């Protein structure tokens, strides 16, 4: 047998994985597109719900270019399509990664994925009901002392969409930490020792993901992220104790 055969086999394996990844990405894009098309027919109600956090804070929302209203409408329905498709995206992520895990761990990882879904929608709820209204009240009240607020629809929807997605993603912190701890890639002791680095990183991430540069808007996300990090440490510690108990039972 040629000594090159193992290398060729590895290349073929990598190519097959990349091909599978490409197919799953296309599936996800297709589902998002289909969900967005479905959302298009309820776009007026979705847009009205998106504008609800700013109601009463400004007299009206304007658009300053002919295509701005239509573009904002498309942004809302694509955002809705992505949120509605998130369970399918999680499924394809799991289907792609599952062969890399042992059968015993696959059942536990399914639990993590269900938790990821729950926290994603909890994060969206947090953004919609807490983060966005708080940020808008502060920013518009501050701005009224300087100029008359005339919020354009396109800018508002971009602001709204960024905070919605940011909320959904940052609430995944405990899941990421817990999952990595479950597969032995993270330890709670290491997370505690590097807490100061994590807090600094969280402040930087919060500054990047928020669409404005004000300190209040940053803290609205930074504080929950720090709390979620601490929750992740607690989850990692619980997992370590359970794994230790299972190992002890096997030995005895």
Largest Cα separation within the chain, whole Å, is 80
Q: Which pLDDT belongs to residue 213? A: 62
Which residues contact residue 105 at a Cβ distance below 8 angstroms, ignoring those fewer than 6 apart? Answer: 182, 183
CB 181 within 8 A of CB 235: yes
> In 10 A of CB 139, how many CB atoms?
18
pLDDT at 94 exceeding the cut of 90: no
Confidence of residue 1 (pLDDT cuts 50, 70, 90): very low
Could you tell me what percent of the chain has a pLDDT over 70?
Answer: 88
**CA-closest candidate to residue 127, choices 188, 189, 68, 210:** 210
Return the structure tokens found at 240.
């370590």
State the Cα–Cα distance between residues 87 and 78, nearest whole angstrom: 16
Q: Which pLDDT belongs to residue 216? A: 76
Return the structure tokens found at 252.
């005895």
> In 10 A of CB 170, how many CB atoms?
23
Q: Which residues pair with 152 in a beta bridge?
A: 62
Q: What's the whole-model pTM score?
A: 0.82
Confidence of residue 33 (pLDDT cuts 50, 70, 90): very high
Alpha helices in the chain, H assignment, sequence order: 5-40, 43-51, 68-97, 103-126, 132-144, 153-170, 173-182, 188-193, 195-209, 215-251
Per-residue pLDDT tens digits for 164-220:
998 999 999 998 888 888 777 888 888 888 888 999 998 888 888 776 666 777 888
Average pLDDT over residues 141-154: 85
> What secondary structure does DSSP assign to 31-43, as a single string?
HHHHHHHHHHTTH
Q: Which pLDDT belongs to residue 135? A: 86
Return the structure tokens found at 226.
């720090």
């Amino acid at each position: 047998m040629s000594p090159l055969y193992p290398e060729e086999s590895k290349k073929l394996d990598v190519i097959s994985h990349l091909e599978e990844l490409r197919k799953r990405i296309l599936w996800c894009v297709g589902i998002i597109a289909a969900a967005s098309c479905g959302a298009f027919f309820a776009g007026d109600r979705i847009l009205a719900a998106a504008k609800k956090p700013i109601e009463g804070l400004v007299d009206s929302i304007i658009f300053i270019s002919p295509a701005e209203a239509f573009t904002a409408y498309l942004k809302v329905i694509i955002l809705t399509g992505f949120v509605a498709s998130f369970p399918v995206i999680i499924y394809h992520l799991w289907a792609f990664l599952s062969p890399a895990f042992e059968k015993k761990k696959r059942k536990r990882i399914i639990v993590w994925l269900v938790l990821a879904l729950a926290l994603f929608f909890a994060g969206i709820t947090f953004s919609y009901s807490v983060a966005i209204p708080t940020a808008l009240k502060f920013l518009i009240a501050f701005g009224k002392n300087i100029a008359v607020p005339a919020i354009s629809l396109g800018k508002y929807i971009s602001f709204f969409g960024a905070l919605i997605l940011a909320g959904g993603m940052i609430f995944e912190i405990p899941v990421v930490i817990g999952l990595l701890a479950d597969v032995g890639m993270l330890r709670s002791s290491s997370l505690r020792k590097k807490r100061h680095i994590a807090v600094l990183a969280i402040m930087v991430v919060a500054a990047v993901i928020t669409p404005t540069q004000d300190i209040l808007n940053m803290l609205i996300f930074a504080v929950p992220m720090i709390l979620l990090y601490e929750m992740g440490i607690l989850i990692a510690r619980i997992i370590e104790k359970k794994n230790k108990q299972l190992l002890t039972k096997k030995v005895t």
